[in-house]
Amino acid sequence: MNIKSTGNISSITFIVMFGFLFYTGLHEGLLGFTYCFADTLDSSKISNKRPVDLFTPEELQLYDGGLDSKGLYLAFLGKVYDVREGAQHYKPSGGYSFFAGRDATRAYVTGDFSDEGLIDDVKGLSNEEMMGINNWMEFYDSEYVYVGKVVGRYYDKDGHPTQALQDALAAIEKAKANKRDEAEEKQIFPPCNSEWSAEKGGRVWCSNKSGGIDRNWIGVPRKLYRPGETEPRCACVRTSGPPSGSSDTTEHENRGDLDSPLLKEYPNCSPESVTCSLSP
């Protein structure tokens, strides 16, 4: 699966190590643990005043897959899943045991698996990180059995969504819209090819497949200054036809998108050239 990580080196090392162990199956043999949990519920540990599909964070902790635990559950964005099917990952000796019995949504995209990092709050995450949250949310929905909700940040005591859940879902929608806008922008301003070498320095150039955008025009390199971003990126710009967004029938200068106010020419590069050397 496509996993995004912004974690620190030690977290990644940790995961890479376990990733390796998963593949080789060595961790089972090395650690010698056997996965097991009681089949029956110990009612003294669970309050039965509320519908069964609501868990306090403390109740959820009882489902960490340990020897005397009630099962193997985890929560993501307030929704509780039975992850028995993935016991090899989440059981106490598994590489992702820290996700069991809790809602640690934030850590899935920060890679911070410390106690401070294993939290459910997703406030302040970037669009890219919220896309990661969305992917994990879809993953758990499709791969595991949904068994309830955690009462707390994302669901209230009656199991109704909280403002925090609505905010998180809105942030996901915003991230999706941002991704769509970026994809649209790439069609109009495909990224340039680029290379760098110590002897020759940098070079950017356009071709009819640059930036992964297959097209029937090549374009010329320009610096594209996107609103809200300080650093420009290299874009290949169409040099004939109407500007994007206007139809062929409206009067135009036949200069494609060359007159977009978001663009600047590369210094010491002919405006018509399909390739530009970058000054050091």
Please calculate the CA angle 57-71-40 and round it to the nearest 5 degrees. 115
96 binding ligand HEM? (CB under 6 A): yes
Look-up of token digits 């994809």: 183
CA distances from 253 to 50, 189, 244, 256, 257 (A): 69, 19, 12, 8, 10
Q: Which stretch binds ligand HEM (CB under 6 A): 8-16, 122-130, 229-237, 255-263?
A: 8-16
Smallest distance, ligand HEM to C-beta of residue 140, A: 8
CA distances from 186 to 166, 191, 237, 253 (A): 30, 7, 11, 23
Smallest distance, ligand HEM to C-beta of residue 21, A: 9
Nearer to ligand HEM, 96 or 154 (CB): 96
5 binding ligand HEM? (CB under 6 A): yes
65 binding ligand HEM? (CB under 6 A): no
Closest CA to 234 of 264, 201, 267: 264
Q: Out of 65, 111, 190, 221, name the contact with ligand HEM by CB under 6 A.
A: 111
Residues in 232-271 that interact with ligand HEM by CB under 6 A: none
Q: Which residues contact 146 (CB under 8 A, 6 or more apart)?
A: 79, 80, 81
Q: Out of 8, 14, 22, 262, name the contact with ligand HEM by CB under 6 A.
A: 22
Residue 99 DSSP symbol? G
92 binding ligand HEM? (CB under 6 A): no
Smallest distance, ligand HEM to C-beta of residue 98, A: 10
Task: Report the chain's terminal Cα–Cα distance, integer Å.
Answer: 39
87 binding ligand HEM? (CB under 6 A): no
Q: Out of 108, 154, 155, 189, name the contact with ligand HEM by CB under 6 A.
A: 108
Which residues make beta-bridge pairs with 177? none
CA distances from 9 to 6, 88, 110 (A): 9, 24, 12
12 binding ligand HEM? (CB under 6 A): yes
Smallest distance, ligand HEM to C-beta of residue 92, A: 15
Nearer to ligand HEM, 47 or 114 (CB): 114
Closest CA to 74 of 113, 102, 105: 102
Q: Are 267 and 251 in contact (CB under 8 A)?
A: no
Nearer to ligand HEM, 111 or 219 (CB): 111
Q: Out of 66, 86, 191, 219, name the contact with ligand HEM by CB under 6 A.
A: 86
Interface positions with ligand HEM (CB under 6 A) = 3, 5, 7, 12, 15-16, 19, 22-23, 86, 89, 96, 99, 108, 111
